[in-house]
Amino acid sequence: MIYTIKNIASVIKREAVITNDVQIEHLLFDSRKIYSPQSSLFFAIVGSRRDGHQFIPEVYKKGVRSFVISQEVEVNKFPEANFIKVDDCLQALQTLGAEHRKKFTIPVIGITGSNGKTIVKEWLYQLLHQDYNIVRSPKSFNSQIGVPLSVWQMNEQHTLGIFEAGISKPGEMDRLEKIIQPTIGVLTNIGEAHSEGFSSLAQKEKEKRLLFRNAVIPESVVLNSVKKEQRSTIISAIYKTFGITITIPFNDDASIQNAIICWQVMLHLGYDNKVIAERMKLLTPVNMRLELKKGINNCSIVNDSYSADTSSLEIALNFLDQQSADGNKAVILSDFLQSSVPDKLLYAQIFKSLQNHGIKRLIGIGENISAFFQSPNKSENMQIQLFSSTDEFLTQFLSSQFKEEVILIKGARVFAFEQIVQLLEQKAHQTALEINLNAIVHNLKEYQQCLNPETKIMAMVKAFAYGSGGAEIAGILQYHKVDYLGVAYADEGVELRKAGIMLPIMVMNPEEYAFETIIEHNLEPELYSFELLHSFDDFLQQEGIKHYPVHLEIETGMNRLGFSGDDIEKLSERLIETSSFKVQTVFTHFAASEDVSQDEFTQQQFLIFKKAIKKIKKNLGYPFLSHIANSAAVVRHPEMQMDMVRLGIGLYGVDSTGSNQLNLQTVTTLKSTVAQIKNLKKGESVSYNRKAIVERDSVIATIRIGYADGYPRRLGNGIGRVWVNGKLAPVIGTICMDMFMIDITDIENVKEGDDVIIFGTQLPVQQIAKWANTIPYEIMTGISQRVKRVYFEG
């Protein structure tokens, strides 16, 4: 199916300014995801905070020459560009998706529901791909934007479509149904998730069922029995008077429900239950997250060693782009086994995608991928190594060949790429701090909803991003276009620059010995005293540097750092006298913006700061940004947004206000494992100094984490708790350097090697801090660097 820009203008019934009638293959709305610019069409969608028209110059500079716009654009600034003017860019995208869908008569499965949509979609793919060439939603592309982009993938080779549809308010499903036009409808369930926009669950269900107004819903099976075993479940049912049975390799309720839905779809498609039963046994877990791990020799590892298909490859490559700003990217790929596309066409498509994402090195493992890539001169810009099997790669593996790269590892399960991951992963003990990058993005968006569209954001990534990993967190924040980053010391900023972070970075505690480092890495120091100002001024003059970006801190009541109100006139005079500085921002710190009992003091600080700002602006005679609000003030004092806000611990899912006004997600989960289990008799002691004497026969588990890892010693002797097997277990005895013990007497089925949650969704870090008589900041920043950090999108 070939479209030109003229065709598309005709489809969406709009006139266009066309300088070159190019062929369009890719639809874009995100200026960060441009891989084939000449064949891309950019939709300048206007959102609640971002206006796509603002990014047209950036997108044009990257090579895109075709645009759909809804606002006036100075066309003469883009002499080679094609423009289609519409009333609403999102509506135009949806219209194009709907018209494209009409060109195909293949069966299409439309899936909606509160939970399980992506699992059902991926399991149907696993169950049906042997018989169909399937096009499906990438990951969970089920939104008003994601659905038309998913449907746009349809082409003449596909014989079945599977698309998700997610909604958040009435009216949205009507638009999605016109795009997907499903012939078969699947409703996973109706629950509380994403219910904010509906008056009731009944209204929500009615709205979701609009997806099926022209579709057939598969007949339900009548369950006879569900028998859960240790690692599987046997499900028996009646279908059209016949007794049928399947066995699935899962025993949780959600998997059972999802498998039954897939069972019903396959029966509707006419499959014999013997075939269904065989395939159900082979279902594998759907990996809902991409993991980023520290690798050997300063490498980073993106672990996606669970599947190999072109849709998930594109998602993984996008994630790789987010993590590698300097472009030093490598990919380890297996054969792609689950495709009905001819190998030559399939691997040509894969090769083109790798080129588009700037991959420097490809390691291909498998006979099929090797056969395609073994021909010489495939790419002058890509180093290619080929191995017939995983065993061959492992035999020839040299760790010295992997250095300072970001490496995507992606393969079909039969290739057992987890062995490669183990080789490349930096060795650490079994305690890990898991960081959910999607949760960071979610929390950022939650705060953005509280802000005026023009209000900028400085994200605080000091103290190793509150223990989460500075460079990795900064990378995802840069990708999502925050305006500034804040660090405590210059060396933190240097690490970010080395990781390819290009955002402006404010250094809050600059030291005189670090001035040269600050200049070398284009960091922006905070000036908070005349002594510091004079020292930095002298340094800049010696270096012959003028108008260097700096930030001024004003003291309004925190009484830590900053120029006082009485210093403002003298400060202004000094800034006017020298040409060394260009003030970027002026700010102050709230002392207690989260505390309702201190609101009067907070208002007093705000008034003092506004008075100082007014004087400085008048004296300097040029504009700068003013900021006072931290995470708590964004929520509790929205009138104090000013030009910019500073987001700190709120980004990491901790609401210091305790108001629950925002739907923040947990970002960090500290996990360890059970090293050993002991059965003690009444009267025996546990740990150093025999401070814990068991008062009954007890079962004690030793956990692989101690105070050297950052677990507070004051949580010993029954004060702290951990989460194991769905229950809280008390700490017993003194916390040791590398481990501690818990009492699991009343918790069944705990085994050596089981995971233990130290803090996370089930056991919030706020509760740990409360037990330890401290604050979440101290707990999070105290996690030792010897604890492995694992980053994932989930």
Which amino acids are annotated catalytic? 462, 688
Token pair of 663 as six digits:
């739907």
Instruction: Please tell me what DSSP assigns to residue 381.
Output: T
C-alpha distance from residue 112 to each of 171, 180, 290 (Å): 15, 12, 24
- 3-class SS of residue 490: helix
**Neighbouring residues of 98: CB distance < 8 A, sequence distance ≥ 6:** 148, 151, 178, 179, 181
Q: What are phi and psi of 223, to 5 degrees?
A: -70, 135
Q: Are 216 and 268 in contact (CB under 8 A)?
A: yes
**Neighbouring residues of 91: CB distance < 8 A, sequence distance ≥ 6:** none
- Residue 747's nearest CA partner among 770, 724, 772, 778 is 724
Q: Are 377 and 295 in contact (CB under 8 A)?
A: no
Instruction: Please tell me what DSSP assigns to residue 401.
Output: G
- Residue 655's nearest CA partner among 775, 759, 781 is 775
Give the DSSP per-residue string, 298-331: G-EEEEETT---HHHHHHHHHHHHHH-TT--EEE
Ranges assigned E (strand) in 214-297? 222-228, 233-239, 242-248, 290-294
Residue 495's Cβ-count burial label (10 Å; 0-12, 13-18, 19+) is middle
Rounded Cα distance between 8 and 87, Å, is: 15
Q: Are 11 and 44 in contact (CB under 8 A)?
A: no
- 3-class SS of residue 719: coil
Residues in the chain: 794
C-alpha distance from residue 429 to each of 418, 432, 509, 765 (Å): 17, 8, 33, 22
Ranges assigned E (strand) in 455-593? 456-460, 484-487, 505-507, 524-527, 548-553, 581-587
